[in-house]
Amino acid sequence: MDKGTVSGIPAWKRGLLVGILGLAAVGAAAGFRGSREEAGGGKVLEADLEETEGSAGKVSEKIREPLEETKKIALTFDDGPHRVYTERLLDGLKERGVKVTFFLLGSNIEGKEEIVKRMSEEGHLIGNHTFYHVDITKLEPEEASAEILDTSRRITDITGQPVEYVRPPFGNWDKELEGDVTMIPIFWTVDTLDWTTGNADQIVQKVVTSVEENDIILMHDSYDSTVQAALRIIDLLQAEGYEFVTADELILE
């Protein structure tokens, strides 16, 4: 057989045949790809990409949006419960959905157990203000402990809850008592001096012009003017974006 032929086919013809078959395969592949594009295959991929990029943009916009933070403050009331004014205050707080902190005198609890129970049931924080409103730093350790423990016992008997916080009268606290009474003292940053005046306007003005975020405001639920002022303070400061919380929420943050 001639070296220029394979199975009787000349080499030059065999080469030409291979070339023609190769071109046909390339053309067929191109035609297949073109038909996919005409059917919208390539456009679907582009649309998917644009949609994905758009979604990512929207997500990133949401992430960049600043979260609105509320300014928290706490109203606290000492010396209660009062037979008339504490209940009036509780009514106003309930209408506004506001929780406050009450520091009770043990000597004022008898005969007002239902008021104390209502404080607890409506979500207010109840703390200890000693039994007879005494300066515990001037007492013997045993007497000072009794002032606090007796008051806590009365509160717990009514509410079924332990008393964890104490406000010492006059702000005078003896750290050596902490081992005996295991309570956390809570003081204040704004003193309304409401006990010195019966003028609700003065009390409101003092608070709304000086209050700042995280302030603990000292009041007394033993006066009609204080109740009026407290509810007006809540209305005014809520309108300015303040949120009223119990005092423990501020000192534990």
The catalytic residues are: 78, 220
- Cβ atoms < 10 Å from Cβ of 187: 14
- Helix or strand run (H / E) with residue 228: helix 224-239
Cis omega (within 30 of 0) on the bond before 141? no
Longest dimension (CA), the chain: 130
User: How far is Cα 226 from Cα 215, in angstroms, rounded to an integer?
Assistant: 18
**Six-digit token pair at 119?**
């404080």
Bridge-partner residues for 196, per DSSP? Answer: none
Decide if 70 contacts 63 (C-beta within 8 A): no
In eight-state DSSP terms, residue 73 is E
- Helix or strand run (H / E) with residue 244: strand 242-244
